[in-house]
Structure 1
């Protein structure tokens, strides 16, 4: 019963944070025409923020230690930021194009990896490294196929974005590896 109450409280916190974050663009829209969100924008961002928070709350219940929790935060944070930036401005060029769709596939790979890993540290570590490899491959494909010629894109930007996200997922992999250390104190749930 205590665990269920804690979960309910955590879900309410995630919902409250989601509403507070969505209030930022809503209030900004009242004062400037620079911010122009549609109902769909609010729904999509709400689902993204709430879904990320919900995923953390659910996975956190199975976290064996604090390093694992940090690894989850890094993995979910990197995935959230990649989806958000891709939807907001596009990571390669702007708008929907093949390069930005490739980043959506990377996010899907993270989700599938989390589900298949069953939250085991070793499998989560392998998932993070597989995502790093996929990002390196995506960067190479983008450069070879001339996506650096898209409006608002350059080779340096493509490499920088790929390296940035690869570094975050690599850090996640290292943290999942470190979370297996027998010297870490087990968390008291």
Structure 2
């Protein structure tokens, strides 16, 4: 039998092990940055928050991977969870509406809640997941509209461009994930 082939299948490294190792490496980045610059000054709480976020998103991906062996489904899940990770992280680090201390950023919890509730209602089935991610994109757009119409975060020097950019970016991620879930439903 040729090298690299086992039982008619190509052997490959376990992607999940690589992903978890990557998450652990991400947790080390701020630790290393703290050694070379004064700009990064994390405390135990920051590391615990970041580690908890990585564990939550990684655990959710593990759950979704078990829901389907379809590669398109898994890609859709990865994109959706990357969006959740980035939305939480950006809000915690610098905030999207104003600064990270601006309470208006709590509106984005509704975006994530929309996705989670939709995924539960869909029972992780691809067609329902596609609908849930479209609803999440609509919730993202709604938060952006509320922020703009309510002039939330107007003290920010980047207002309103930061809200437009974030709304477009995250809504795009949710819609890309919805499209991939739709493709997985048709497969």
> What TM-score do you get using the length of structure 2 for normalisation?
0.84
The answer for the alignment partner of 2:5 in structure 1 is: none
Q: Distance in 1 between matches of 2:101 and 2:20?
A: 29
The answer for the alignment partner of 2:39 in structure 1 is: 34
RMSD over equivalenced CA pairs, Å: 1.9
Give how far 1:174 is off.
0.8
How many equivalent residue pairs? 174
The answer for the alignment partner of 1:58 in structure 2 is: 63
* SS state at 2:172 partner: helix
1:87-111, Cα deviation, whole Å (9 max, x unpaired): 1110111122233111122122222
Give how far 1:150 is off.
2.6
The answer for the alignment partner of 1:19 in structure 2 is: 24
Q: Distance in 2 between matches of 1:119 and 1:103?
A: 22
Aligned: 1:179 with 2:175: no
- Is the alpha carbon distance of 1:146 and 1:126 closer, same or farther for their aligned partners in structure 2, counting shifts above 3 Å? same
The answer for the alignment partner of 1:114 in structure 2 is: 119
Unmatched runs of 5 consecutive residues or more in structure 1? 1-8, 185-189
The answer for the alignment partner of 1:5 in structure 2 is: none
* SS state at 2:67 partner: coil
Q: Distance in 2 between matches of 1:130 and 1:168?
A: 12
- From 155, 158, 165, the counterpart of 2:163: 158
Q: Distance in 2 between matches of 1:69 and 1:110?
A: 16
Aligned: 1:88 with 2:100: no
Contact residue 128 and residue 169 of structure 1 kept, 8 A? yes
* SS state at 1:149 partner: coil
* SS state at 1:146 partner: coil
1:32-86, Cα deviation, whole Å (9 max, x unpaired): 2111001000000001112111211221012141111111011111111111111
Contact residue 110 and residue 139 of structure 2 kept, 8 A? no
Contact residue 91 and residue 161 of structure 1 kept, 8 A? yes
1:95-138, Cα deviation, whole Å (9 max, x unpaired): 22233111122122222222232111121111101111111111
Aligned: 1:142 with 2:165: no
Higher relative contact order (CA 8 A, sep 6+): 1
